[in-house]
Amino acid sequence: MGLFDRLFGGTKVQGATPSGPITGELTMKIVNAYGSAMADGPVPGTVADVKSLPYPKAQIKEALRNAMSVATDKQMREQLVQAYIFLADYQEGVGAKPIGIDSLNASHGGDLRARAAEIVAQGAAYEKWKPLVEAEIKASFAELKRLGLMDGL
């Protein structure tokens, strides 16, 4: 029996979607798809477009809240909270390429001055998005606390 089978066991988990409640099966599908997308998602210090998410952001949030509400393992709940907060790094209107300093995929050779100028430009581009990301992180923590999904963490 898989982790999500233990979490949801085929039961209905209530959630608001245009088509009605999110089932445990759909929650599992959304959370798994988002988990896979996170592996290729924006690195810290960058922001990506919401269009790169496998499902609408609101639906992913709902699925993650559903998963948190039934997860009894503290480590799993912490990972779900982190995944929820990480959604702040996806914003509308970013475009096809993430914006910010991507040190994981940076070129490490060539002219040092050119590389430094590239880093400065990437950082400046991210500054537009930073307040939005930070505000969403703060709001997400507040929402999870209000819903009691941070209790015991």
51-107 pLDDT, tens per residue? 999 999 999 999 999 999 988 889 999 999 999 999 999 999 999 988 888 766 656
Question: How many CB atoms neighbour CB 79 within 10 A?
Answer: 15
In tens, the pLDDT along 103-138 reads 666 566 667 777 777 777 777 788 899 999 999 999
Query: How many angstroms separate the CA atoms of 57 and 50, rounded?
Result: 7
Residues ≥6 apart with Cβ < 8 Å to 85: 137, 140, 141
Q: Evaluate whether 17 touches 56 at the Cβ level (below 8 Å).
A: no
Rounded to two decimals, the pTM is 0.78
